[in-house]
A = this chain, B = another copy of it.
Amino acid sequence: MATAVPPDLGRPPAEVDRLLRGLNASAVEGESWLALFGDALSPQSRDWLIERRRTLAEAAPLPPVAERLRLVRAELARQGVDGFVLPRTDQYGSEYLPPGEERLAWLTGFTGSAGQAIILSERAAIFVDGRYTVQAGQEVDEDLFETVHLVDHPPARWLEEALAEGQAVGYDPALHTKAGIERLKKAAARRGAVLKPLADDPIDAVWAGRPPAPIAPIALLDEARAGESSAAKRARIAAEVVKEGADRLLVTAADGIAWLLNVRGADIPFNPLTLSHLLLDADGRARWFVDPAKLPPSLVLDDAVEPLPPSALAPTLDGLGGARVLVDPARVHAVFAERLEAAGATLVAADDPIVPAKAIKNPVEVQGARDAQARDGVALCRFLAWLDANAPSDGLDEIEAAARLETFRAGHPLFRGPSFPTISAHGPNAALPHYRTNPASNRALTDGVYLVDSGAQYPDGTTDVTRTVAIGTSEPDATRCFTLVLKGHVALARQRFPTGTTGGQLDALARMALWGAGLDFDHGTGHGIGSYLCVHEGPQRIAKSGGGVALKPGMIVSNEPGYYRAGAFGIRIENLLLVTEDSHDGDERPMLGFETLTLAPIDRRLIDAALLDPGEQGWLDAYHARVLRELGPCLEGADAAWLAAACRPLAA
């Protein structure tokens, strides 16, 4: 039983509980959340709130999966449909989901980061890609769900095969883009069946104790950190909207809103975002549909940004008849596009202009990235020195190592949390490129190759770095493979290229050496990254396909070729690169190049110098000299000695 709400909170008990439940559904850490209750809390009220929040966090037990599936089927029957299509996403298209949006996990038990389910009356299937087939096999009851390969046997085809004429399959239009649902509609139509939008999500309807939408405090990002005011950003994005022939922009992507308003939140893990919607007008004014509970009383917004409750979004869209609203069909989910069309608005389908603007870091963000990378490199070097001194040893395993690394990072006051779940992988575990360390698979760090892919959020930048290091005696062929990966990494890092070149054009540079040996890796070479935002950010990428956007000065992109030998070991070398103007005497064209931002030694023990040409050796030696020069002054004692040894020239 809760005691009475302390009088100095000045809110009704139900509202206090709503906030605390929302906080429990968020990723907020520490005690910063107390700011939501004002600056003048009494110590008694603080204690009361902390205790009440803990009480509310106790989750009700879940019924078994078979029962959950039965409940959903009954709800589908009630809504008059024969099935339901469930992607793993939310209405914002987030990569990381708050707990109340984890419908796929609730329904199937599958906890991976990508997947989809289709339920019919007699059959149900879960679709996962190659990364997750093993995990799905462990987590999902095969008597209830068939596990299907997402790429080899896509949901549209499965649906076409499974449906009977006259059937109707429901979907939640808040969870699908129009293009995505169109594919399924076509597949169903070939069997004389239809897809039907459902006004009430059938999972939400039967999920007892479903966590509410997260509520975490929103903070402004100083213009001194952001490098540009929200007003200036809104003005130039509004100009792009007008250029596309529209007079409004609807934004649902959380990182787009965070960038545009210079705000950060903690609604979801790893990404410092708040979930909300925004409507930008042609004059740069914005209506921001955001839970007012997330706005600390101390927060002062720009006059031209009007906060409105989320419930105001639907009537606002309904009132946009006659407006020309730019809606990015690849980002904004069908429910909004359909509502606007029903209201009589004209949809202008175009790429969200925030995406390319956000990708090009301004000078303040660029300097912030350099500072953040150096700070992060110091923590990583301390970890690597500690690892060298302690592994192999009894009891040291992947989980312990990942925790240690986070401890080294957390030592800095600007650390704001990891930017994604650390991959701490030894031996065969590292052969799974998207391995997530977990107690069942946890390996001791004995002789062999160890891969650690991790990153952090700092208020001046987001980091993402992978190092692969030898522990004791490593696998005989690992040195050759590591050196081939390194050759690709270096080829990309040192390449100059003319303006207009896309990441797709450069991808092969990172693979040439591996290809020569009959090897390759099955993931992209590089992704964009945000400034104290998402660790994966478009539009640029370096990949075999889909890397069609020209690289521009100020973009940051990762350089992470790898090699994975199933059952044996995995290798990846990842630095972040800043695209820079790179003109030399004698150039006939405007040229670009890369500045490597990430600072940490690349393990010399895994390099076969005989496989490197003089240019590659020169790059590596110069990189190590720079790492030593920039990080050396920040390290002491054994750490400094370790760094000096790790950074000595190859020939030494």
Taking beta carbons and an 8 Å cutoff, which residues of A are in contact with B? 491, 495-498, 501, 504-509, 512, 515-520, 544, 583-584, 586-589, 591, 613
User: In the bound complex, how far is the Cα of B516 from the Cα of A589, in angstroms?
Assistant: 11
User: Within the assembled complex, what's the spacing in Å between the Cα atoms of A402 and B164?
Assistant: 69
Query: Are B496 and A588 touching (Cβ within 8 A)?
Result: no
CB of B508 within 8 A of CB of A591, answer no
* Complex contacts, A588 vs chain B, CB 8 Å: 518-520
Contact call B544/A515, Cβ cutoff below 8 A = no
Residue of B nearest to A613 (CB): B613
Q: Are the CB atoms of A584 and B508 closer together than 8 Å?
A: no
A504 CA to B543 CA in the complex, in Å? 12
Q: Which residues of chain B have C-beta atoms less than 8 A from A517's C-beta?
A: 586-587
A520 touching B586 in the complex, CB below 8 Å, given contacts A495-B515, A504-B504: no
Q: Which residues of B contact A501 (CB under 8 A)?
A: 508, 544
CA distance A515 to B501 in the complex (A): 11
Given A495-B515, A508-B509, A509-B512, 15 other A-B residues pairs in contact with their CB atoms under 8 A = A491-B512, A495-B512, A496-B516, A497-B515, A504-B504, A505-B507, A505-B508, A508-B508, A509-B509, A517-B586, A518-B586, A518-B591, A519-B588, A520-B588, A613-B613
Q: Which B residues are CB-close (under 8 A) to A498?
A: 515, 520
- In the assembled complex, the CB of A28 is this many whole angstroms from the nearest CB of chain B, namely 44
Nearest residue in B to A585 (C-beta to C-beta)? B518
Q: How many copies of the shown chain assemble into the complex?
A: 2
Residues on B with beta carbons closer than 8 Å to the beta carbon of A497: 508, 515
A603 CA to B591 CA in the complex, in Å? 30
A589 contact set on B, CB distance < 8 A? 518-520
Q: Which residue of B lies closest to A512 (CB)?
A: B495
Residues of the B chain whose Cβ atoms lie less than 8 Å from the Cβ of A504: 504-505
Cα-based distance from A396 to B544 in the complex (angstroms): 49
Expressed in whole angstroms, the Cα–Cα distance for A268 and B274 within the complex equals 66
Smallest CB separation, A506 vs chain B (Å): 6
What are 25 A-B pairs at a CB distance below 8 A? A491-B512, A495-B512, A495-B515, A496-B515, A496-B516, A496-B518, A497-B508, A497-B515, A498-B515, A498-B520, A501-B544, A504-B504, A504-B505, A505-B507, A505-B508, A509-B509, A509-B512, A515-B591, A517-B586, A518-B583, A518-B586, A518-B588, A518-B589, A519-B588, A519-B589
* Chain B residues within an 8 Å CB radius of A515: 495-498, 591
A204 → chain B closest CB, angstroms: 40
Which of chain B's residues have a CB closer than 8 A to the CB of A520? Answer: 498, 588-589
Chain B, residue nearest A491 (CB): B512
Chain B hits for A496, CB < 8 A:
515-516, 518
Closest CB in chain B relative to A521 CB, distance in Å: 10
In whole angstroms, what is the CA distance A512 to B497 when docked? 8
Q: Give the distance to chain B from A9, nearest Cβ to Cβ, in Å.
A: 60
Contact B613 A518 (CB under 8 A): no
Among residues of B, the one whose C-beta sits closest to the C-beta of A592 is B515
Q: How far is the CA of A588 from the CA of B584 in the complex (A)?
A: 41
Quick check: A544 and B512 within 8 Å, CB to CB?
no
Across the A-B interface, the 8 shortest Cβ-Cβ residue pairs: A518-B587, A505-B508, A497-B515, A498-B520, A518-B591, A496-B515, A519-B588, A496-B516
Chain B residue at smallest Cβ distance from A584: B518
Q: Provide the bound-state CA to CA distance between A496 and B515, in Å.
A: 6
Q: Which of A495, A508, A516, A583 has the most CB of B within 10 A?
A: A508
Identify the closest chain B residue to A511 (Cβ): B497
User: Which residues of chain B are near A613, meaning CB under 8 Å?
Assistant: 613
Residue of B nearest to A505 (CB): B508
A505 to B588, CA, bound (A): 24
> What is the CA–CA distance of A519 and B585 in the complex, to the nearest angstrom?
11
Complex alpha-carbon distance, A516 and B586, angstroms: 11
Report the Cα distance A527→B6, complex, angstroms.
78
**Complex: A518 Cα to B582 Cα, angstroms:** 9
The docked-state distance in angstroms from the alpha carbon of A519 to that of B591 is: 9
A591 CB, min distance to chain B CBs, angstroms: 5
Most chain B CB within a 10 A radius of its CB, from A505, A584, A587: A505
- Report B-chain residues with C-beta under 8 Å of the C-beta of A516: 495-496
Q: In whole angstroms, what is the CA distance A107 to B602 when docked?
A: 66
- With CB as the reference atom, state the residue of chain B lying closest to A509: B508
List of B residues within 8 angstroms of A495 by Cβ: 512, 515-516
How far, in whole Å, are A613 and B615 apart by their CA atoms in the complex?
10
Neighbouring B residues of A587 by C-beta, 8 Å: 517-519
Interface-centre pick from A491, A589, A613 (highest chain B CB count, 10 A): A589
In the assembled complex, the Cα of A473 lies from the Cα of B496 at a distance in Å of 32
A506, A512, A515, A520 pick with most chain B CB within 10 angstroms: A515
Instruction: Tell me the complex Cα distance, A588–B484, Å.
Output: 14
Chain B: minimal CB distance from A550 (Å) = 11
In the complex, how many angstroms separate the beta carbon of A520 from the nearest chain B beta carbon?
Answer: 5
Measured CB to CB, the nearest residue on chain B to A548 is B545
A518 to B507: give the CA distance in the assembly, Å: 19
Q: Which residues of B contact A508 (CB under 8 A)?
A: 497, 501, 505-506, 508-509
Q: Which residues from chain B contact A544 at a C-beta distance below 8 Å? A: 501, 505
- Minimum distance in angstroms from A80 CB to a CB of chain B: 32
A477 to chain B, nearest CB (A): 9
A508, closest chain B residue (CB): B505
Cα–Cα, bound, A507→B505 (Å): 7
CB closest residue in chain B, given A507: B505
* Least distance between A144 CB and chain B CB atoms (Å): 35
A544 to B516 CA separation, bound complex (whole angstroms): 22
Distance of A482 from chain B, by nearest CB (Å): 16
